[in-house]
Each structure stands twice: as C-alpha cells, then as structure tokens.
Structure 1
C-alpha cells in the first residue's frame, strides 16, 4: 500500500460537526476514482463515519485520544511509516501547529485550511476553496507549498458533482424550502427555526429539514415537525443529499462547505453562520448571510427566507449570477494534484 495512498487525518464530533470530514470525503472519493488508495485516521470516529468510508471506498483506522495528544500523534506517525502515503492530508483547527509540523517532518503534508492564521507548518500543499483565499498570505507561512486556492478547488462530493452535470428543474416548479445546518447543527437552530419558518411561509410550501448523523436531537425534531401545521418533513442522514437539494426552490444552509455545493447546483440560498470559522469565509460570499449565533437569529432567518421565497425573480437572478462560479470539479483537481505532483522527498525522522 504505497505510491498512490492518501492518508487523511480528520475528526468529527457532535460539538465539532462533520464539515471537516465531509470535505475530506470529497477529495477521498476523487482519489479513489483516480485509482488511489484512501485511508482515514480519526479519534473516536462516529458510527456514521464507517458507512461513509464504505461509500468512498476507504479504510478507517481509530487513533487513541484525546485528539492532538502525543498518543494520537505517535500513532499517526506510525501509520505514515507503515503505509508510506504519497501525502497526508490534515484538517482540523483542534490540532496545533506543533502537531502539523511533526507530521510534515515525517512526510509530505497537505494542509486543508480556511485562513492563513497559523505559523509555518512546512506544508507541501495548501487547500482553501474560500473565494477570499490569499496566495500572498499563505506564502508568508508556507512559501514552498503548492497553492490550491479559490472556488476552482471547491470540494464537492461525488453525488453533488454528478447532479450538477444534469439539467435542473426550473425554480418556478419547485415548492420546497430545505433547511440544513450541517452534520451536527451545533446551535440546534433546526428546532428553533422550524415553527417560526412554518408560520412565515405559505401553507402550500413544503418544508424539509435535513438532519445530519451527528445531530443529537433527531427524535425531538421529528416530534416538533409533526406538531406544526402543515407538518414538516425531517430527513436524517440520507445516502445522498443531491435529490433533496435538486427539489428545493430555496435552501437555508449553514455557511460551511455546503455553500460550494449549492453554488455548483445553481441553487438560491440563505447562508447562516453557526461556527466561528464560517464568519470569515462568508465575507463576500455568494449568498446573503445571517449570523445564527446571536439571540433571536431564528426570527431574522425566517423573515429573510420568507422574503426571498416571495421574490421568485430575485431568486432566478441569484441563480444566474452563480453560473460558472463553482463547476463541481474541485475535488477532482485536488485529488489529481495530490496523486501526480512530485513532492520533495523526506527522510524518516
């Protein structure tokens, strides 16, 4: 298992969410499609992670916790020595600079970041699909790195990538609003927003709430959805989200990696910041954005979503402005770079 093996070091928890894992999955799918071997190393992987690995396909290995500790690091370094990956992709704000530097000493490192706010970690590749990603800023901390920056490298999952190639149903024929606050919905905005949004939207509009595998309130959400009038549909961790997205005339989404997928599909959306790292990435983003962390955010979200729904011409203009911004092939480009680029060789420490 060498030469074309890509090792991913990433975590996903109810508190952290699943965004980091989902974007690594997008790269992993493309690596597998191009003939590479994929291995994930995680601390306390969620049960849903194994099912995700089966779909890549990828091997999932468990690391000792806590994440970022010496036992975690030493186990990862041991994996690098035994697997001889062509590159190790590390993604996670909870892993400090010393951890990243030690991985880079062992072998080629790809850093999946959202902002150039770290010290030099000697990365060979930096991946940041944010529209405001700065090559100049990143060069100050990893001058030698191959820069894969901007929407051209948006990490779009395989099912979304395939759906983006298809002809989509006109917005005028879609009567669904889709709510998706990520894999864990850390602020539990789904519960707060659902009754308010139902009141704001016409009864003829179907509302669907997409709940991720790490969301801890599935049953409570279902019970609430059944009580509102008309009832709301709740979908939990479906095998593919593409059919839900493609039926939506408006999406209310966490301002994370899903935004790139919505742009690739040409969908009108309202983005909502649910984590600190999303705030900077949402500046100059493709969609209107609301900070979901402030008190009463659900009222503002529902009011703006209702106004957007009533403005079909405005939503259609929004779709027109999105054309060509994200073509859906970013993960394919990243995977190709990881598998074909000649990285400087390192001697084991």
Structure 2
C-alpha cells in the first residue's frame, strides 16, 4: 500500500498540521507500506525527522505566484495557485499509482483534490474549519463543536465518510499510555504546564512567563514547553533559568508532562484534545481565528476555562489564573468532563478505517436471508447467543422479514472485497441503541471484529443522528466479545447475575 501526505509547516501555518499527519503516518506504517510526504514549506529539522523514520520526502517546487481564482479564506498560505501546486504534487507522485492521499491544508479545496484524482485512488481530508467544499472519500474533523454534525452538509460528496468529533482525535500512542495512569485532578495545584504551540508567533509563552514571575503567592512548579522553531527561544530559555522554571524544547515527553501537571495554560487546537485525554484542567486562549469557536464551544460545555473580556492577554491571565488555581471543584469538574469526551482511541479508529484490509457496511436485504440463517445456526455462533438452540427456517424467515421492515431495529452486513465477514444488529429505544455482533464463521481474523464494529458505528452516526448511547450485552465466558468492546471504547456499566433454583 502506498500513502502520500500533503501538508506544510511555517511560522504562519504552524506545525500542528504536520504533527497530526506524522501521527497518522506512524500509526499506518508497517511492512509493505510506503509513505511519502509532499511539502512546499518544511523546515530542515522536520525534513530530517521524516527521513529518520524511513518516510520519503518530496519538496514541491511550484512557482510562487498570486492566484487569480477565488480561493479559500487561507489561500495565501499556499504561496501559489492550487493548479500549480497540484501539478507539482502530481509530478512528485508520478512514479506509480497511490492508494491513499492524506491532505491537511487550509489552502486546498475541491479544485486541488479533483486535480489529484488522476494519480490517487482515495483522498482523506483533515479539516477544522468547514469553510470550503471538498472532493474526498473521507473527511476528519476531530474538534469539539456544538453543531459538529451539520458543519459539512453540502460540503463533501454523498459517498464521503465523515469522521466528526473528538472520538477520532489523532493523538499519539503515548497519550493513551499516560491516560491509563492519569487520575482526576481533585487536589491542589502543585504543577502548571505552559504550552502555546510549537511556533507561538505572538510569543504568548514569553508574555505568560512575565505574569507567572510576578505572582507573589505562586507555590507551584512550572513546566514550559516550546518548539525549536519558536521565534523567541533564547529569551524564554533565559527567563526560565532566572525564575527556576523547567524549560522543555521540542520535547517528546509531552504526554508525561501533561499527566504530571495539575493545571495547564495554553492555546486551542490539537493540544486541547491532548489535555482532555489526560483530564488536565486548562485556562485556554484562542491564538488563531479558527480556534475561537472551538475554545468558546468547549468553555460553554465546561470542558475548559476560557476567559472573555477586552483586557490585554497579560491582564486577563493575571486576573483569571489565581481564580482557577483556587477553585478546586471547578478544576475537578473540568477534569471529569474532559476525560469523558476524549478516550484516546481515536488514532486506532482512524487507522483501522484506512487499513488496506477495509470493511464496508450495508443494510441487509432479502437475498441475505439464507446465509444469515446458516451463520446464526452455526455452533460457534449459537454458543454465545441468548437462545443457543437451533432456529427453524420458518421462524427465521418470519423474523427476518420483520426486521427488514422494522423502524426500531436495523441489521447490517459487513463485507470485504465483496465477501461477507460479519453481521451487526442495532435495536433502538429512544436515544439508546443495543448492539449485537458476530463474525461469519471462518472469518475470525485478528482485528476484523473491531473494524466491523467501528464501521457499523459510523453508519449509525450518519443514519441515526438521534442516538446518543450504544449498549452491549455480553454472555458470561465470552472473553473475545468483552475484549472487543473494551478495546472499542465501551466501559462496563453493570453486571447481571443468575441463580437457578432446584425444584
């Protein structure tokens, strides 16, 4: 499988788009996978980082020119026209057909994507803004928005699979590992993490340091994180040295630092999702226009603390930081809410969908009746059914016709390369759905059940937007199903016990 990425890094763009592409590339990479990054703007240290990981790099040399077309709001970020960029990108990928193209760039829209169709089979777009139309097969927007489900209506093709919300957050694997050790922040603030992104062109880091240094009652330790592209790196390093703060430059220990902290000061963007995964209460500031709604919506849901007002950044931080430090109940509430929103499994969900061994989903139809009858009566399937007996054909036929016409249940067939691999059933009660799943006998391939369950959940989200919870009932002794649901983000709600009385 051959996978290409199109993204850029600069002081204006920042490094967040590149970092989440790198995170996804690391999750997809395995023997037999070729990965190539196509970039127009890429600092030498990040170029070297990609090569060290064994990824190919092509620098796009499209001529700098002002585009005459009406482009997206961030069109100037590209530095050339979309047509010129696409032409250069196709040249960089001209050594054969590519299975997947991942695009993370605010300056590219359906016109660029349409041009790239001739050299790639599928296009996966990562977006945050919903401010332009895309021609893609998958679209990921991992951010929390109150109107998340409607943001891309009429902006993607009908066949596009939309992955919306923090459930699909592309967080590095170390955040999941740190989450397993993290606890709710219910005590005093002993350690504060300061991080405003890898570039931080407005130097909010340095300005926050002056506020922290002036706090007379400060009794907590401070960790400061910046990237090696920070324009004021020397000044920040010197300030940290004077104040006794710990300065971390281009650290690979971000998950550990977040897990150790009791509170954070920082920006919006992907870092918000990382902090939520670890339940880290945060006083957050939108550092770019595209972060304003993200931070505002999250604050209204109690997921972070976002001061508003017309004061300067320094005045705002000086006033609100002590208030949050002293408000233990609020910090505990934010910690609890945040951990419920991001479970750390988003990267594995997305990687499973993009795997070349992909599972597709469709509703069952009348012609599936005979096969489902045979699968359901197989001994391996009956063993873990509520009724382990053999179902007569007449009874099955009546049940099958009923479920096809039902408005309170749906039966889905999972298939791969046109061959069926499993069955998922949802039964609806108000805003809840109860799920049951089994693989076709002989299809017990490692990871296949998880892919089937994930695909079914996406179908459910796209077709039944009113469903808020999915419940599963597992028979005693079915360790495989327990592992499947626990590994897919389900948690145990209650236990059921049975005792049979002798006559």
When normalised by structure 1's length, the TM-score is 0.86
**Map 1:13-28 → 2, pairs under 5 A:** 13-28=10-25
In the superposition, relative to structure 1, how do residues 342 and 15 fare at CA in structure 2: closer, same or farther (>3 Å)? Answer: same
C-alpha distance in structure 1 between counterparts of 2:88 and 2:306, whole Å = 41
Q: Does 1:312 align with 2:328?
A: yes
1:55 CA drift (Å): 6.9
Cα RMSD (Å): 2.6
Counterpart among 244, 247, 253 of residue 257 in structure 2: 244
Paired residue for 1:74?
A: 87
Paired residue for 1:225?
A: 240
Aligned residue for 1:210, secondary structure, equals: strand
Residues 28-75 of structure 1: CA distance to partner in whole angstroms, max 9, x if unpaired? 121126974322111131133135426755333222154444553223
Aligned residue for 2:342, secondary structure, equals: coil
In the superposition, relative to structure 1, how do residues 51 and 268 fare at CA in structure 2: closer, same or farther (>3 Å)? Answer: farther
Higher relative contact order structure (alpha carbons within 8 Å, sequence separation ≥ 6): 1
1:169 CA drift (Å): 8.5
When structure 1 is superposed on structure 2, of 47-56 and 181-190 the one drifting more is 47-56
1:212 CA drift (Å): 1.4
CA contact (8 A) 1:41 1:60 kept: yes
Aligned residue for 2:194, secondary structure, equals: strand
Paired residue for 1:183?
A: 198
C-alpha distance in structure 1 between counterparts of 2:205 and 2:4, whole Å = 34
Pairs aligned (count): 336
C-alpha distance in structure 2 between counterparts of 1:55 and 1:301, whole Å = 40
Paired residue for 1:346?
A: none
Q: Which runs of 5+ in 2 are unaligned?
A: 65-77, 361-503
Aligned residue for 1:172, secondary structure, equals: coil
CA contact (8 A) 1:18 1:214 kept: no
CA contact (8 A) 2:201 2:231 kept: no
**Map 1:102-113 → 2, pairs under 5 A:** 102-107=115-120, 108-113=122-127
Paired residue for 1:260?
A: 273
Larger CA Rg, structure 1 vs 2: 2
Aligned residue for 1:315, secondary structure, equals: helix
1:264 CA drift (Å): 0.7
**Map 1:87-236 → 2, pairs under 5 A:** 87-107=100-120, 108-119=122-133, 121-132=134-145, 134-142=148-156, 143-168=158-183, 172=187, 175-200=190-215, 202-227=217-242, 230-236=243-249
CA contact (8 A) 1:53 1:59 kept: yes
Aligned residue for 1:314, secondary structure, equals: helix
1:304 CA drift (Å): 1.7
C-alpha distance in structure 1 between counterparts of 2:89 and 2:109, whole Å = 15
CA contact (8 A) 1:273 1:291 kept: no
C-alpha distance in structure 2 between counterparts of 1:245 and 1:202, whole Å = 23
Residues 242-280 of structure 1: CA distance to partner in whole angstroms, max 9, x if unpaired? 221111111111101111111111111112111111112
Residues 281-314 of structure 1: CA distance to partner in whole angstroms, max 9, x if unpaired? 223212122479x761122123222211122232
In the superposition, relative to structure 1, how do residues 122 and 295 fare at CA in structure 2: closer, same or farther (>3 Å)? Answer: same
Paired residue for 2:317?
A: 301
CA contact (8 A) 1:6 1:37 kept: yes
C-alpha distance in structure 1 between counterparts of 2:21 and 2:218, whole Å = 39
Q: Which runs of 5+ in 1 are unaligned?
A: 344-349
Paired residue for 2:462?
A: none
